[in-house]
């Protein structure tokens, strides 16, 4: 087997745009939920509501950005106890998007593919995107169970 020495390069802006494209689709998925189902509907008792999963996704952004900038991991996620409606969740979502857009230029490019200490084999930015895609996809199933058509996966 050949040892690969090739390097994949992309602009840091392109990676942000890619992430923001996912965020647009996830926001559309939140919007598709009926307000009363967002924090209460669970297909089975071992699953969380879509609203709770989205708060996890929102809450990981700030500590990860702080780690990428400083190299220090402070494992305190924001709690969002009072976010229990679609309006409040969308406001928290938009605030996280604003922070991401504002703070992205201060993330050193060599840290974007960096590993976060508590998750030693996972890389920070791809993990956040994957985690968002993962929970959004679960929301797609929830929407189908609620007889609502999810947004198109390939539109960003």
What's the closest the beta carbon of residue 145 comes to its own copies, in angstroms?
6
- Judge contact between 124 and 110, C-beta under 8 A: no
What's the closest the beta carbon of residue 82 comes to its own copies, in angstroms?
27
Helices marked H in 33-70? 35-38, 50-70
What's the closest the beta carbon of residue 72 comes to its own copies, in angstroms?
21
Residue 6: burial class (beta carbons within 10 Å; 0-12, 13-18, 19+): exposed
Q: How far is CA 149 from CA 141, 145, 153, in A?
A: 10, 10, 11
> Which residue number, 87 or 118, has a Cβ lying nearer to its own copies?
118
> Which residue number, 70 or 113, has a Cβ lying nearer to its own copies?
113
> Which residue number, 22 or 85, has a Cβ lying nearer to its own copies?
22
Q: Which two tokens stand for residue 128?
A: 């956040």
What's the closest the beta carbon of residue 50 comes to its own copies, in angstroms?
11
> Which residue number, 22 or 28, has a Cβ lying nearer to its own copies?
22
Residues forming contacts to its own copies in the complex (CB under 8 A) are 2-16, 18, 21-22, 43-44, 46-47, 104-105, 109-110, 112-113, 119, 121-123, 126, 129-131, 133-138, 140-142, 144-145, 147, 153-154, 156
Q: Minimal CA–CA distance to 26: which of 133, 148, 138, 154?
A: 133
């Amino acid at each position: 087997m050949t040892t690969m020495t090739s390097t994949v390069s992309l602009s840091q802006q392109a990676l942000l745009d890619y992430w923001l494209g996912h965020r647009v689709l996830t926001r559309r998925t939140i919007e598709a939920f009926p307000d009363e189902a967002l924090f209460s509907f669970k297909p089975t008792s071992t699953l969380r509501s879509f609203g709770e999963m989205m708060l996890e996704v929102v809450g990981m952004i700030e500590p990860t950005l702080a780690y990428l900038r400083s190299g220090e991991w402070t494992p305190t996620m924001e709690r969002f106890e009072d976010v229990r409606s679609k309006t409040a969740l969308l406001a928290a979502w938009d605030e996280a998007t604003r922070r991401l857009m504002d703070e992205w230029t201060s993330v050193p490019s060599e840290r974007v593919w960096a590993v976060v200490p508590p998750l030693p084999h996972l890389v920070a930015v791809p993990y956040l995107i994957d985690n968002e895609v993962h929970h959004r996809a679960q929301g797609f199933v929830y929407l189908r169970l609620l007889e609502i058509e999810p947004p198109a996966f390939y539109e960003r």
